[in-house]
A and B are shown apart, each in its own frame.
Chain A
């Protein structure tokens, strides 16, 4: 039985399980869904009041919180939508959207 773990992006029709069957279920967590964003959110810690509104609104659960504080953004899953930037209530935004490096 072919194993999805061994499937390379350029695998041929003969090397992959038929019908798109996934033989390692639950492997979506290994898939970095944030790889196609065009804008990257950057957290500016000194402006942040830790209101966590960004955490509430982020549609991808990308805002990381520890001990009630906003501690960063998981860019592996962030899709770059900019909602966090928009909802951030500080006068000088505590999340800014930048071009990827």
Chain B
């Protein structure tokens, strides 16, 4: 039975983790993720979960211990933010290349420096080539739903890759929302028990994991990883459908909002999509054909869906909540622009770096982007590279 609850994003993630009841969690606190593992440690102390909770001395150790637990065959999780994930960096790659289905909430926060604890996407963007699947949420409901689906996606025999479940720091993690939670049995039936192909505690078929791998086979193992990432798109679609049949809440690689006849569109990740939807509704009342493409799965990148959703538009603004210092917009901008390259006719595509270090994104902020797009459609000059709302 569903329960409607008022939860913050962090509480929603912790609730999902309680229902997942993983075998092992190794974690270290960091703002704004701290609450997730703090709440989870309460569940452990109160006997509400069977999890072995390992309090480690750093995030590098958190990910390393999670890797060990996952390699042993258990369902293992951790959670982090920003500098914490930066400190996990090298082991993120190990988790992915060892093909361990670890699921990790990442509560997105700006990377230092200057030191800042608020939301942007520089942490997750930096790990986009690490081999982790990346799911993104617009609100606490989606963070909850994504986290549970992530377990199935990660452990699917066609995938066996780790999944990062992103949620905007403070904006979602500390904002209270009404959301639906499923009951424990529903979740436990949905996720089932992990059935690893290989694991270290299988004494009948002993194996070695993570050995040295040089010129003769490293390349083949990377190709296996790339193939698994490519296959994961279909698995994500399939599991999203199952989740919809179970809960009524629908997910895909991306979400199109009022895109059918849209002439101008924004592409974005995370909580900003909610703001954009309100802006679109207002603009539509004024007759402006505005739309939104919200990316739910950033890795693997939904290139065909993007091309299909945007090909008929006249101008597109891609919003990146991180600077990547390429002097060519943000990572999402470049991926979207590249996805459109094969289209016979393609929209003008411009980049907006926005909301860095938690800078507020209001309706006015978004409306300004749509105004720029309208000017672009009219043939006026709008720069390709923009830093939205910065004092310059």
Residue numbers in B under 8 Å from A9 (CB-CB): 216
A19 to B208, Cβ gap below 8 A? no
For residue A17, which residues in chain B have a CB less than 8 angstroms away from its CB?
198
Chain B CB within 8 A of A20 CB: yes
Interface stretch of the complex, out of B107-115, B219-227, B369-377: B219-227
B209 at the interface (CB under 8 A from A): yes
A25 near B221: Cβ-Cβ < 8 Å? no
Tell me whether A22 and B98 are in contact in the complex, defined as CB-CB below 8 angstroms, given that A13-B223, A13-B224, A16-B220 are known contacts. no
Q: Evaluate whether A25 and B160 lie within 8 angstroms (CB atoms) in the complex, with A9-B216, A20-B217 already known.
A: no
Nearest neighbor of A22 in chain B, beta-carbon distance? B208
**In the assembly, what is the distance between CA of A19 and CA of B98, in Å?**
5
- Among residues of B, the one whose C-beta sits closest to the C-beta of A19 is B99
Question: Are A1 and B221 within 8 A (Cβ)?
Answer: no
Say which residue of A16, A19, A22 sits within 8 Å of B97 (CB atoms): A19
Overall SS of chain A's interface: loop
Q: Does chain B have a CB within 8 A of A23?
A: yes
Query: Which residues, 157 to 176 on B, are CB-close (under 8 Å) to A?
Result: 160
Interface residues of B, dominant DSSP: loop
CB within 8 Å of A: which B211-238 residues = 211, 213, 216-218, 220-221, 223-224, 227-228
- Does residue B207 face the partner (Cβ distance < 8 Å to A)? yes
A20→B98 CA distance, assembly (Å): 8
What residues on B are CB-neighbors of A23 within 8 Å? 198, 205, 207
- Cα–Cα distance between A18 and B160 once the two chains are bound (Å): 10
Is A11's beta carbon under 8 Å from chain B?
yes
Q: Is B206 an interface residue (CB 8 A)?
A: yes
* Interface size class of chain B, counting residues whose CB lies under 8 Å from the partner chain: 20 to 34
Known contacts A11-B220, A13-B221: A20-B210 contact under CB 8 Å: yes
**Bound-complex Cα distance A8 to B216 (A):** 11
Whether the pair B227, A13 counts as a contact (CB closer than 8 A) is yes
Q: Are A21 and B198 in contact (CB under 8 A)?
A: yes
A41-99 at interface with B (beta carbon < 8 Å): none
Across the interface, which residues of A come within 8 angstroms of B160, CB to CB? 18
Tell whether, in the assembled complex, residue A19 and residue B221 are in contact, meaning their CB atoms are under 8 Å apart: yes
Within the assembled complex, what's the spacing in Å between the Cα atoms of A21 and B213?
10
Q: Does B197 contact A (CB under 8 A)?
A: yes
Q: How far is the CA of A36 from the CA of B216 in the complex (A)?
A: 15
Q: Which residues of A contact B198 (CB under 8 A)?
A: 1, 17-18, 21, 23
A33 smallest CB distance to B (angstroms)? 12
- A12 and B208 contact, Cβ closer than 8 Å, known pairs A19-B97, A19-B99, A20-B213: no
Give every chain A residue within 8 A of B207 (Cβ-Cβ): 21-23, 25
A18 to B99, CA, bound (A): 7
A18-B99, A20-B211, A20-B213 known; A1+B197 contact, CB < 8 A: yes
The interface residues of chain A lying within 8 Å CB-to-CB of B208 are: 21-22, 25
Partner of B205, one of A1, A11, A18: A1
Which residues of A sit under 8 angstroms from B205, Cβ to Cβ?
1, 23
Most buried by A among B211, B216, B223: B211
Contact A12 B220 (CB under 8 A): yes
B210 shortest CB reach to chain A, Å: 7
Could you say which residues of chain B place their CB within 8 Å of the CB of A22?
A: 207-209, 211
Could you tell me the distance in whole angstroms from the C-beta of B196 to the nearest C-beta in chain A?
A: 11
Query: Are A21 and B209 in contact, CB atoms less than 8 angstroms apart?
Result: yes
- CB A13 to nearest CB in B, in angstroms, measures 4
Q: Other CB < 8 Å A-B pairs besides A11-B217, A21-B209, A23-B207, 14 of them?
A: A1-B205, A11-B220, A12-B220, A16-B217, A17-B198, A18-B160, A18-B224, A18-B228, A19-B209, A20-B218, A22-B207, A22-B211, A25-B206, A25-B208
A-B pairs with the 9 shortest C-beta distances? A22-B208, A13-B220, A13-B223, A20-B213, A19-B99, A25-B208, A18-B99, A13-B224, A19-B98
By a beta-carbon cutoff of 8 Å, the part of chain A in contact with chain B is 1, 9, 11-13, 16-23, 25
